[in-house]
Amino acid sequence: MKPQIKIVIAESSEIIRKGVAAVLKHIYHNVDFFYANELEQLKLALNRHKPDILFINPILVGSFGFNAFKKNILSANTKTVALQTVFLEQSILKDYDRAISIYDSEDFIGKKILSLINEPPEKDKPQNVLSMREKDVILGVIKGLTNKQIADKLCLSVHTIITHRRNIASKLQIHSAAGLTIYAISNKLVEVDD
Amino acid sequence: MYKPTDKMSLLVTSHYKMMLVMARFGIALGFGDKTIREVCAENQVDTNTFLAIVEALLDVENKTNFSVKEVSLKAVLKYLQNSHSYFLQFRLPAIREKLSEVLQNGNSELSKAVLFYFDEYVAEVKKHMNYEEKTVFPYILSLIEGKPKANYNIEMFARQHNQIEARLTEFKSIIIKYYPIKSTYELTSVLFDIFTCEEDLASHNAIENRLLVPKILKIEFDNLKI
């Protein structure tokens, strides 16, 4: 059984509210729905139900912008989906975690929503955690191997190695081989007598 | 901004780091109530150059146009050379000694890696400073004498500084983030030394970037017109 989630749908048209709920019910069975048809009602609903996901028609928020709304009213754990009834600019949609249109297929909406549900909340996202491959690349770098040698050893392209190295540098803020050696020893990526 | 008629003691008590500038010019402390001009004259230091360097160090927003300032380039070069030997012969070796003492109690492989990193860094600073003394400064002297060496211009050198500063910043963050050693007064003290050394190096580079380079660019430009 999938965990139960709470969804608030904020949209002025009842037909659209119910329609969206019906499609979502197909996609994810264990949902509690709450509705709001204007802002004041929405504030109450958010406050009372603390939903996991808010589906909202961006037109409802109006000109003062979704970011201000998110900051002042939404809890940080509530994910947001823009529900478009008309075509909207990307500059408006970028403030939402996902965007769907009432003309999208169930399949398409399903993929988007399931990926959103499975996404860990912002604060739980692993930060600066190295992948196994990146660790392998570090080991190569501190042994003094060239990018080409590391690529051959790991059966990857030189281009991929360069990408890994760039990601390592941005995750750890370490750019030199000598710095990576310190990191590798203190994080036990290498045996001490290696 | 400070004037030649201001008291030297006023400058130094307000900005203690200016003591480093004085040391590099070979000016002794104990100047009582003498003015900046008087102290400079007694120590055979060009007052305008001294004040320009002070101004460059205090001018964090980089507002001053140094290419129009009256400075003695020879005095600036002497200042920079003394500053180099301060870092290479005094400051960095002192930090290394302290660092190696602190690291003695930790994991030996790790300590070796940390010292290796530091040594590599120092080698880089040394290489850069040697390059300045062997290539850049002689070029500037040839420019002052009106017989500029061909195939070189100051812009080639102006870009190199950021790397050196970035390296020390990286070292600091590696120690803080990844070195699992108990935070002791000794360790804190070394880190403070590294922080101040980082600032000193940045201001040393600032003199080169803000005062020296614009001045040379102006001479190179004027030479072009002839």
Residue ranges covered by each domain of chain A: 5-124, 132-186
Q: Is residue B32 domain-shared with residue B86, that is, in the same domain? A: no
Q: What are phi and psi of A106, to 5 degrees?
A: -60, -40
Residue A121 has a pLDDT of 62
Residues in A touching B120 (Cβ below 8 Å): 176, 178
Under 8 Å between Cβ of A34 and A5: no
Complex ipTM = 0.71
Compute the average pLDDT of residues A74-87: 87
Q: Please write the tens of the pLDDT for every residue from B197-206.
A: 888 888 888 8
* B220 and B131 within one domain: yes
pLDDT of residue B82: 93
**Tens digit of each residue's pLDDT (9 = 90 or more) over B68-123:** 778 888 999 999 999 999 999 999 999 999 988 888 866 688 888 889 999 998 99
8 Å CB contact between B186 and B58:
no
CA pseudo-torsion sign B184, B188, B193, B194: positive
Residue B118 shares a structural domain with residue B20: no
Q: What percent of chain B has pLDDT over 70?
A: 95
**Number of domains, chain B:** 2
pLDDT, average across residues B4-30: 91
pLDDT of residue A57: 92
What's residue A88's pLDDT?
A: 84
Tokens matching residue A180: 């990576």
- Tell me which residue of B66, B65, B57 sits closest to B19, measured CA to CA: B57
Question: Domain A5-124: which CATH class?
Answer: alpha beta
Q: With the C-alpha atoms ordered B212, B215, B219, B225, is the resulting torsion angle positive or negative?
A: positive
Average pLDDT over residues B20-35: 90
Based on the fold, state whether residues B19 and B104 are members of the same structural domain: no
Of B121, B166, B179, the CB nearest to A186: B179
Q: Is B182 on the interface with A (CB under 8 A)?
A: no
pLDDT at B224: 77
Mean pLDDT over residues A11-21, rounded? Answer: 93
Residue of A174, A175, A181 with shortest CB distance to B113 = A181
Which residues between 100 and 119 in chain B have a beta carbon less than 8 angstroms from any beta carbon of chain A? Answer: 107, 109-110, 113-114, 116-117
User: Residue A185: its chain B contacts at CB < 8 A?
Assistant: 107, 109-110, 113
Chain A residues 172-191 within an 8 A CB cutoff of chain B: 173-176, 178-179, 181-183, 185-187
The three-class DSSP label of residue A55 is strand
Domain ranges, residue B146: 67-225
Please state, in angstroms and as integers, the Cα–Cα distance from residue A85 to each residue in A13, A20, A79, A96, B117, following that order. 10, 11, 19, 15, 59
Instruction: Specify whether the CB–CB gap between A35 and A45 falls below 8 A.
Output: yes
The neighbour count for residue A99, using CB atoms within 10 Å, is 19
pLDDT value of position A191? 66
Contact call for residues B69 and B210 (beta carbons, < 8 A): no
Please give the angle made by the CA atoms of B222, B224 and B226, to the nearest 5 degrees. 80
Instruction: Indicate whether B51 belongs to any domain.
Output: no
Of B107, B110, B174, the CB nearest to A179: B174
Domain identity same for B13 and B75: no
The predicted structure's pLDDT at residue B107 = 67
> Is a pLDDT exceeding 70 seen at residue A63?
no
In a domain, B169, yes or no: yes
Q: Do A185 and B109 touch (CB under 8 A)?
A: yes
* Burial (CB count within 10 angstroms: exposed 0-12, middle 13-18, buried 19+), residue B96: middle
In the prediction, which pLDDT does B162 show?
Answer: 66
Higher local confidence (pLDDT), B55 or B62: B55
Class of domain A132-186: mainly alpha
Same domain, B179 and B126: yes
Q: Is the CB of B110 less than 8 angstroms away from the CB of A185?
A: yes
Backbone phi, psi, residue B74, to 5°: -65, -40
Q: Which residues pair with A42 in a beta bridge?
A: none
Q: What part of A 115-174 touches B (C-beta under 8 Å)?
A: 173-174
Q: Which of B109, B170, B178 sits opposite A176 (nearest CB)?
A: B170
Angle between helices B137-144 and B213-225 (to 10 degrees): 40
How confident is the model at residue A194, as a pLDDT?
Answer: 43
pLDDT digits (tens, 9 = 90+) for B131-182: 899 988 998 888 888 887 777 777 777 666 767 777 878 888 888 888 776 7
A187 contact residues in B (CB cutoff 8 A): 178
- In which band, very low, low, confident or very high, does the pLDDT at B4 lie, cut at 50, 70 and 90? very high
Q: How far apart are CA B134 and CA B127, in angstroms?
A: 10
Three-state secondary structure of chain B: CCCCCCEHHHHHHHCCCHHHHHHHHCCCCCCCCCEHHHHHHHCCCCHHHHHHHHHHHHCCCCCCCHHHCCCCHHHHHHHHHHHHHHHHHHHHHHHHHHHHHHHCCCCHHHHHHHHHHHHHHHHHHHHHHHHHHHHHHHHHHHHHCCCCCCCCCCHHHHCCHHHHHHHHHHHHHHHHHHCCCCCCHHHHHHHHHHHHHHHHHHHHHHHHHHHHHHHHHHHHHHHHHC
Asked whether the predicted pLDDT for residue B191 surpasses 80, the reply is yes
User: In terms of domains, do B108 and B155 share one?
Assistant: yes
Cα B92 from Cα A36, distance rounded (Å) = 66
pLDDT on residue B186: 84
Per-residue model confidence as pLDDT tens digits over A138-180 = 999 989 899 999 999 999 999 999 999 998 988 888 888 888 9
- Cite the DSSP H helix spans in chain A: 14-27, 39-49, 58-61, 66-72, 90-93, 106-118, 132-142, 147-154, 158-172, 177-186
A174-189: average pLDDT: 87
From CA A109, how far away is CA A107, in angstroms rounded?
6
Residue B50 lies in a domain: no
- Cα A190 to Cα A184: distance, rounded to the nearest angstrom: 6
Judge whether residue A193 has pLDDT over 60. Answer: no
In a domain, B3, yes or no: no
pLDDT tens digits, one per residue of A104-131: 998 999 888 888 888 766 555 555 678 8
Is B57 inside any structural domain?
Answer: no
